[in-house]
């Protein structure tokens, strides 16, 4: 399916932060870049953009879309001072089948479009995503109100007094929309809502509720601030461990926002974090308390920065499988280097061989902890299980333990604790899922590789 994006208007209220509204920056991306990359997540690969005011700047910036991994076509609307409906009508010849209709200034959770694309609609219908539980940040006076009845939209407009939800500006349309818009323009209404009203009268305008997903209309500086907050809040993941949640995430988010402005890629951040980790680990090899303290601090910094690659990737809508993989493998090497450093350093000073055996168990536990994490989290995410135990034993906890052990000069005890709880957790996960996973979940050959 193709998407039509309306980017013709002037957006005067955003003027103070940018002259060309679609290119106004929001967390490292222009507004229209966010719209394109969010839709791409839902599988949309072809875009038509209607440009008007400062159209050449937009075309120059986005070009043919190759750098986003999509195809972009442009449609020029010289009459951009007129309403939205005129812009959409310009695209008439490009859309002979159903298509996604999006606004430049609306930002939304990619799950919204996922759900919308799954909804079945008839050839003569359109469907709009509506928000029936608008958040505080929404400027109600400026919003387009919607009254729904049964499965369809009863009426729509900015001045409705009797309404039950808000237009999010995310549509799936069929070409019937063009005739409706034409009729509406003839009647003197040049807004998109005019065309929608005509469809509602024919009982051909349906809706899908937004649910728990987020959306936001960015019309001025305050909206942008709210959008930043909303998007950053989304980065706090339900799989975050306690240390990550309380100590690391608040700081790493601030660092990520700075990194966004530098243009550094998520994979470069992974490598940077890796090098910080190795630097900390190499200090441990000396074994003396001074180096332990220094190393411990650096490992804590590593633990924080390690969250930034994923954050920047998600903020820039640029997550890749490779990125996730690179990060995981490099983290495993840092884990190993840290434990080896601690063991070697302790042994070189105390000469006690037991530390090597303890180190082995700590290393095994660390690895198994990571090895089982992905599966553990995905099982919870798929909703098959009852609530996960509140304390998630993960890398954030392991690294904090190491920092505490180094700062207090208690390497053997810390490694023993690490070995016990990491291995205990790996075995606990095995036992917890013993019965729950065993039946009814047949799989392909894939799972039996090692």
> Interface with its own copies by CB under 8 A: which range of 74-82, 146-154, 361-369, 400-408?
361-369
Residue with smaller CB distance to its own copies, 167 or 331 = 331
**Out of 229, 246, 349, 357, the residue judged to bind its own copies by CB under 8 A:** 357
Regarding 391 and contact with its own copies (CB under 8 A), the answer is no
**Out of 205, 327, 418, 419, the residue judged to bind its own copies by CB under 8 A:** 327
The minimum distance between CB 430 and its own copies, in angstroms, equals: 6
Regarding 239 and contact with its own copies (CB under 8 A), the answer is yes
**Out of 10, 132, 268, 328, the residue judged to bind its own copies by CB under 8 A:** 328
**Out of 15, 57, 318, 428, the residue judged to bind its own copies by CB under 8 A:** 318
Distance CA 406, CA 293 (A): 6
Residue with smaller CB distance to its own copies, 290 or 448 = 448
In our burial notation (b when 16+ CB lie closer than 10 A, e otherwise), range 274-283 reads bebbbbbbbb
CB 218 within 8 A of CB 26: yes
Cα atoms in the 13 Å half-sphere on the side-chain side of 120: 0
Residue with smaller CB distance to its own copies, 103 or 363 = 363
The minimum distance between CB 48 and its own copies, in angstroms, equals: 21
> Interface with its own copies by CB under 8 A: which range of 51-59, 214-222, 247-255, 309-317?
309-317
**Out of 258, 329, 413, 420, the residue judged to bind its own copies by CB under 8 A:** 329
The minimum distance between CB 165 and its own copies, in angstroms, equals: 27
The minimum distance between CB 252 and its own copies, in angstroms, equals: 12
Distance CA 342, CA 432 (A): 32
Regarding 389 and contact with its own copies (CB under 8 A), the answer is no
**Out of 117, 385, 407, 437, the residue judged to bind its own copies by CB under 8 A:** 437
Regarding 189 and contact with its own copies (CB under 8 A), the answer is no
Cα of first residue to Cα of last residue in the chain, in angstroms, is 39
CB 393 within 8 A of CB 419: no
Residue with smaller CB distance to its own copies, 356 or 424 = 356
Q: Residue 385 corresponds to which tokens in the numbers above?
A: 């299980």
Helices (H), 4-101: 31-41, 55-62, 84-89
| 3-state secondary structure (DSSP) of residue 131 | strand
**Out of 104, 168, 372, 403, the residue judged to bind its own copies by CB under 8 A:** 372
> What string marks each residue from 53 to 72 as x (binds its own copies by CB under 8 A) or -?
----------------x---
Q: Could you give the angle at the alpha carbon of 252 between the alpha carbons of 104 and 312, nearest 5°?
A: 35
Helices (H), 139-205: 176-186, 192-201
Distance CA 23, CA 33 (A): 8
Residue with smaller CB distance to its own copies, 224 or 314 = 314
Regarding 74 and contact with its own copies (CB under 8 A), the answer is no
How many residues interact with its own copies (rule CB under 8 A)? Answer: 71
Regarding 272 and contact with its own copies (CB under 8 A), the answer is no
Positive/negative CA dihedral, 156, 159, 161, 164: positive
Q: Which residues, including other chains, have CB under 8 Å from residue 399's CB and lie 6 or more apart? A: 243, 299, 300, 302, 303
Q: Which of 209, 210, 227 is nearest to 219 (CA)?
A: 227
**Out of 86, 214, 313, 407, the residue judged to bind its own copies by CB under 8 A:** 313
Q: Which positions from 190 through 229 interact with its own copies, judged by CB under 8 A?
A: none
| 3-state secondary structure (DSSP) of residue 231 | helix
CB atoms within 10 A of CB 435: 8
């Amino acid at each position: 399916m193709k998407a039509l994006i309306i980017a013709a208007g002037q957006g005067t209220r955003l003027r103070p932060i940018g002259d060309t509204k679609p290119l106004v920056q929001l967390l490292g991306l222009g507004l229209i870049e966010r719209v394109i990359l969010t839709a791409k997540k839902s599988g949309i690969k072809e875009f038509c953009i209607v440009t008007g005011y400062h159209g050449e700047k937009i075309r120059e910036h986005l070009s043919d879309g190759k750098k986003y991994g999509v195809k972009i076509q442009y449609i020029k609307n010289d009459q951009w001072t007129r309403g939205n409906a005129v812009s959409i009508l310009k695209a008439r010849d490009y859309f002979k089948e159903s298509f996604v209709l999006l606004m430049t200034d609306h930002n939304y959770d990619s799950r919204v479009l996922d759900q919308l694309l799954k909804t079945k609609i008839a050839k003569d219908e359109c469907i709009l995503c509506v928000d029936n539980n608008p958040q505080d940040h929404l400027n109600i006076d400026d919003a387009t109100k919607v009254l729904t009845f049964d499965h369809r939209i009863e009426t729509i407009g900015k001045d409705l007094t009797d309404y039950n939800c808000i237009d999010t500006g995310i549509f799936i349309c069929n070409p019937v929309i063009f005739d409706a818009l034409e009729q509406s323009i003839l009647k003197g209404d040049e807004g998109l809502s005019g065309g929608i009203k005509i469809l509602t009268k024919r009982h051909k305008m349906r809706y899908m509720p937004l649910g728990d997903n987020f959306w936001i209309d960015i019309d001025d500086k305050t909206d942008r601030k709210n959008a930043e907050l909303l998007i950053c809040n989304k980065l706090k993941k339900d799989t975050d461990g306690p240390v990550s949640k309380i100590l690391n995430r608040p700081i790493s988010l601030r660092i990520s926002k700075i990194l966004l402005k530098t243009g550094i890629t998520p994979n470069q951040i992974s490598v940077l974090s890796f090098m910080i980790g190795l630097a900390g680990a190499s200090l441990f090899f000396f074994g003396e308390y001074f180096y332990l303290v220094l190393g411990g601090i650096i490992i804590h910094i590593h633990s924080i920065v390690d969250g930034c690659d994923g954050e920047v990737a998600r903020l820039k809508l640029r997550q890749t499988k490779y990125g996730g993989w690179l990060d995981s493998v490099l983290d495993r090497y840092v884990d190993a280097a840290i434990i080896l450093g601690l063991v070697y350093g302790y042994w070189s000073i105390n000469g006690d061989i037991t530390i090597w055996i303890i180190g082995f168990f700590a290393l095994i536990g660390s690895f198994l902890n990571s090895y089982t994490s992905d599966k553990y989290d995905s099982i919870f995410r798929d909703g098959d299980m009852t609530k996960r135990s509140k304390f998630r034993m993960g890398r954030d906890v392991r690294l904090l333990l190491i920092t505490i052990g180094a700062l207090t000069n208690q390497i053997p005890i810390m490694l023993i604790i690490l070995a016990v709880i990491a291995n205990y957790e790996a075995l606990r996960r095995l036992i917890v899922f013993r019965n729950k996973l065993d039946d009814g979940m047949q799989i392909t050959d894939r799972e039996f590789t090692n």
